[in-house]
Amino acid sequence: MTPAPVLLSDYQPYPFLIEQVSLRFALLPQATRVSARLDLTPNPARPGQHDLRLDGEGLRLLSLRLGGTPLECQPDATGLTIPAALIPAGAFTLETEVEIAPEGNTALEGLYMSNGMYCTQCEAEGFRKITFYPDRPDVMARFRVRIEADLPVLLSNGNPVDSGAGWAEWDDPWPKPAYLFALVAGDLVAHSAPFTTAEGRKVALNIWVRPGDQDRCAYAMDALIRSMQWDETAYGRAYDLDVFNIVAVDDFNMGAMENKGLNIFNSKFVLASPETATDDDFARIEAIIAHEYFHNWTGNRITCRDWFQLCLKEGLTVFRDQQFSGDMRSHAVKRIEDVLMLRARQFREDQGPLAHPVRPDSYVEINNFYTATIYEKGAEVIGMLKRLVGEDGYKAALDLYFTRHDGDAATIEDWLKVFEDATGRDLTQFKRWYTEAGTPRLGVHEAWDGAGTYTLTFTQTNPPTPGQPDKGAKVIPIAVGLLNPNGDEVLPTTVLEMTQAVQSFRFDGLAARPVPSILRGFSAPVVLERDADAAERAFLLAHDTDPFNRWEAGRSLAKDVLARMVTQGAAPARGWLDGLAALVCDDSLDPAYRALALRLPSEDDMAATLAAAGHVPDPDRLHAERRRMALALAERLAPHLPGLMEAMRVTAPFAPDATQAGQRALFNACLQLASRLDGGAQARDAYARASNMTDGLAALVALLDLGQGQAQLDAFETRWRHDRLVMDKWFMLQILHAAPDQTAATVARLTARTDFDWQNPNRFRAVIGALSANHAGFHQADGSGYRLLADWLIRLDPKNPQTAARMSTAFETWRRYDAGRQQLIRAELSRIAATQGLSRDLGEMAGRMLG
Ligand code: ARG
Ligand code: ZN
């Protein structure tokens, strides 16, 4: 039975305000006692007499007092109701004592244990598993917390008040919703640094880790300090407490969490050393440290009124962390990486049965809505707003947002209003980006009158999505530039503002028919449907002044080439090979950029593209043709590879910066190609000589792609078997790079190992996530991949529904494939849906995917 959905239209303010919360935790693994005292007053926004409803799940109620008087009251399955008749007029207190068992909490939501450490995850609705409370983001209160435990480190939000042997008290002066509550208790050590804010506040920064991990915190600390400085200069926002604590936890469902003054991180996104982390890991750590820190203003100081507004904090905070990473590294490279991710995850979601608006209007389980649409499309929408109002307009709007809404639980309407008030613009139509799901498709028609006038006509179509058959035209900022036939730019980047379903833009006074560069910088999250010929794409690949579109030209050329190889058995086109070779050998270009240009379109991306063009993708054939394409590229580049690799070899001591990372990326992309020609000789040598994880893994991947590398895998295991994070890579790579017909068997072999600790989300994702990321392996026609995934989801669900539900999205693309595969996937989804005692999380996902 599907539980009733929660609806945006049902929103009502909570009938009470909470001035102060005092919590006391007596921590024990099986029987933790939580005492809570709430100081309540009636909320003038909800006049009248109201019941006091508190959320609570899995709590053993020991005592309850209202205004100091004991009260008999039985909780139900989801909370506790105190009838209006019993509630005194004016201010009153409510005291509860409950017992919970953090050790048995395998869902990793609420208070749980990881390696003997107590920790919490409350967003979205985990606080109700800790104590009875109105667990909703618009109820904001000051928290004071006392922790009692026989452990050396006891942490909560805010500033430390006092502590002694076995206890500590914390006070958070900033009112906050319960989802930002956090507590950590354990045997931890700190990597510390001081920081002084622009306002002169001295802040103690600490990264808390398990003993032995403290030498892997330096990079995260450096990223934190740079984030704090950046938010001061870029947004004028300074930190507002005396301490900022980060804790690394091994068992964590998501990436990290922005609890006020006490960020809790998946250890994977904190711990790094050159020997254990790749350049990509370092970049991700930098981005996530920044993301969680930036939430202090966009999320904590200004939070969300309800969970439908989740993009208010997540879209904006992703947008801010993207700006930060661009400033720290390269804007062009960052933009390309972000768009690759957007297309791989968000477009895929937006074009399937799980499509939902950036601001949804209903949900069953809110944890299922921490999606690429809320986060990444939410950030794209802000990028479009910024393009439309300009740098100054954006700055004025953000300043107004912070002054007007500091301390508020706000809405998307509030957010759009500050842009309207600061810039005088009407954003009524723009708001559709928040309320309508789906990826618009943008058609282009060009006309040249032979007398200097060139006209671009755009047509937008907004395809139907679940529950939204018809949609209006969107406001689409289309950044364009025009080049003349010898490659000079005759029109620098100009933003065309499309507001109608069909709209033309005229350019006069041109000497010759121009070549258009459309959607520069990927100025809107749309699918551009332009039937450019290969010659025009090759021209843009050689000449476009916009780095994103130059890369994009190579990308779309590559996709056309691969599509023709798959559907017509064509040979890899010479024009693409030559254009790419010229770009890769151009020393004036950033190595990181050239490495990105060498990356072939993924099989999943190609499957989506082929399906959109009316073909039924054949995963095996796609896999084989993509390999043929890589081989052709290797052969074309063969004369240049030794020189490129020599030039890209890093001789300086390892630094995780963009410069070195770019060199390693290009070197390793070349190594990957060279391996296809030399039988793996250079990769074996590179593996043996590697002095950092980036180079070592790249060499290993090159060998695995050749069906080799067993000796290296064994050596790797011997060296790293005691390191969970490093071993996650070992598990993952073998599956990701298994031959299609070997993938299921590889998963079966690895999941049989005693160190396949499937209740650890990182390990589960490394193995089961890799299964669905190996496109041809997952989509084997015999259904072995589907069955394996479904088996594991059904097994994980009773322990950890959140992670099981998240990983079920591997099935969301089923409509792309042939009837046989469709039937196999539907059967697995139906089997999941029919499972006894299935969670609300996985139940909702299976139901939506079955449609
Ligand atoms: N707010 C966190 C972040 O984006 C994500 C927490 C999501 N947790 C969850 N259980 N859904 O930084
Ligand atoms: Zn976030």
The full DSSP string for 8-28 is GGG----SEEEEEEEEEEE--
Specify the residue with its C-alpha closest to ligand 1, atom 11: 367
Ligand showing the shortest atom-to-Cα distance for residue 319: 2
Ligand nearest to the backbone CA of 177: 1
Can you tell me which atom of ligand 1 is nearest the CA of 375? 4
* Residue pLDDT, tens place only, 38-62: 999 999 999 999 999 999 999 999 9
| pLDDT, position 568 | 97
pLDDT tens per residue, range 595-617: 999 999 999 999 999 999 999 99
pLDDT at 532: 79
Same fold for the pair 6-187 and 303-435:
no
Q: Which residues contact 732 (CB under 8 A, 6 or more apart)?
A: 766, 767, 769, 770
Identity of the amino acid at 172: D
Cβ < 6 A, ligand 1 pocket? 123-124, 253-254, 256-258, 291-292, 314, 367, 370, 802
Q: Residue 847's CB: how many other CB atoms inside 10 A?
A: 16
Which protein residue has the closest C-alpha to ligand 1 atom 1?
Answer: 257
Q: What is the signed CA dihedral for 492, 495, 501, 505, rounded to 10 degrees?
A: -40
Ligand nearest to the CA of 257: 1
The hierarchical CATH code for the domain 721-851 is 1.25.50.10
Spacing, Cα 294 to ligand 1 middle (Å): 14
**Alpha carbon distances (Å) from 265 to 270, 285, 398, 633, 776:** 7, 10, 28, 40, 33
Ligand 1 pocket mutation pick from 119, 249, 257, 313 by most atoms within 8 angstroms of CB: 257
CA atoms of 653 and 636, how far apart (whole Å): 33
Which among 292, 314, 552, 844 is annotated as catalytic? Answer: 292
Ligand 1: which atom is nearest the Cα of residue 126? 10
At 371 the three-state DSSP class reads coil
Ligand at minimal distance from the CA of 379 is: 2
CB 235 within 8 A of CB 290: no
Q: How far is the CA of 282 from the centre of ligand 2 (A)?
A: 18
Architecture of domain 441-530: Sandwich (2.60)
pLDDT of residue 1: 58
| CB-neighbour burial class of residue 833 (10 A; exposed 0-12, middle 13-18, buried 19+) | middle
- The encoded tokens of residue 256 equal 């990290």
Cα(402)–Cα(412) distance, integer angstroms: 14
Of the candidates 111, 115, 83, 418, the residue with the CA atom closest to the CA atom of residue 249? 115
Cα(123) to centroid of ligand 1, in Å?
Answer: 6
What is the CB-side half-sphere exposure of residue 491 using CA atoms within 13 A? 23
Separation of alpha carbons 807 and 300, rounded Å: 28
Token reading at 551:
């890369």
**CATH hierarchy code of domain 303-435:** 1.10.390.10
Active site residue 57: no
Measured from the Cβ of residue 613, the count of other Cβ atoms closer than 10 Å reads 11
Query: What is the pLDDT at residue 333?
Result: 98
Nearest to 320 by CA among 298, 353, 345, 338: 298
Please count the other Cβ atoms lying within 10 Å of the Cβ belonging to residue 823.
12
64 by DSSP, 3-state: which? strand
Q: Give residue 765 CA to ligand 2 midpoint distance, Å.
A: 20
Residue numbers in the chain where pLDDT is lower than 70: 1-2
| Residue 156 vs residues 23, 25, 119, 800: alpha-carbon distances, Å | 11, 11, 10, 25
Distance 322 CA to ligand 2 centre (A): 12
- CA 327 – ligand 2 centroid, Å: 19
Q: Candidates 1.10.10.10, 2.40.50.100, 2.60.40.1730, 1.10.540.10; correct CATH number of 6-187?
A: 2.60.40.1730
Give the residue from 270, 325, 261 showing the smallest Cα distance to 293.
Answer: 261
Q: What does the pLDDT read at residue 792?
A: 98
Can you give the residue ranges of every domain in the chain?
6-187, 303-435, 441-530, 721-851
Can you give the pLDDT at residue 100?
Answer: 99
Instruction: List Cβ neighbours of 266 (8 Å cut-off, separation of 6 or more).
Output: 248, 249, 252, 254, 255, 256, 761, 762
